[in-house]
Homo-oligomer: A and B are copies of this chain.
Amino acid sequence: MGGDHAPHEIVAGAVAYARQSGHTVVLVGREDLVRAELARHDTSGLDLPVVHAPETIQMDEKPAMAARRKKDNSMAVGMRLVRQGEADAFCTMGHTGGALTAGHMVFRRIPGVHRAVLTTPFPCVTGFFILGDIGANPDCRPEWLAQWGQMLSIYARVRLQVAEPRVALLSNGEEEGKGTELTRAAEPLLKEALGGRYIGVVEPKEMIAGAADVVVTDGFTGNVVIKLAEAVASFFLQTMREEIMARPLAKIGAALARPAFRATAARLDDREYGAALLLGLNGLVTVGHGRSKQDRVVAALRNTAHLVAGRMLDRLHDEITRTVRLSHAGGGDHEHEL
Contact = CB atoms under 8 A, between A and B. Distances in A.
A200 interface: no
A243 interface: yes
B260 A254 contact: yes
Interface in A225-255: 225, 227-236, 238-240, 243-244, 246-247, 249-250, 252-255
B253 A257 contact: yes
Interface residues of A, number: 68
A224 B221 contact: yes
Nearest to A179: B138
B235 A264 contact: no
Interface of A: prevailing SS: helix
A203 interface: yes
Interface in A117-143: 124-125, 135, 138-139
Given A65-B176, A172-B227, A264 B239 contact: yes
A180 B253 contact: no
A85 B228 CA distance: 42
Interface in A169-225: 170-173, 175-181, 183, 203-205, 207-209, 219-221, 223-225
A186 to B, nearest CB: 13
Contacts of A255: 253
A46 to B, nearest CB: 36
B260 A231 contact: no
Q: How many copies does the complex hold?
A: 2
B227 A229 contact: no
A264 B236 contact: yes
A236 B265 CA distance: 9
B228 A228 contact: yes
B207 A231 contact: yes
A175 B220 contact: no
A249 B138 CA distance: 47
A96 to B, nearest CB: 9
18 contacts: A63-B175, A138-B177, A170-B224, A172-B219, A172-B224, A204-B228, A205-B227, A205-B234, A209-B231, A228-B229, A239-B268, A240-B264, A243-B263, A243-B267, A246-B263, A247-B259, A253-B257, A253-B258
Given A125-B238, A183-B220, 7 more contacts: A62-B176, A64-B176, A97-B175, A138-B172, A172-B219, A253-B254, A254-B256
Interface of A: 62-65, 97, 100, 124-125, 135, 138-139, 170-173, 175-181, 183, 203-205, 207-209, 219-221, 223-225, 227-236, 238-240, 243-244, 246-247, 249-250, 252-261, 263-264, 267-268
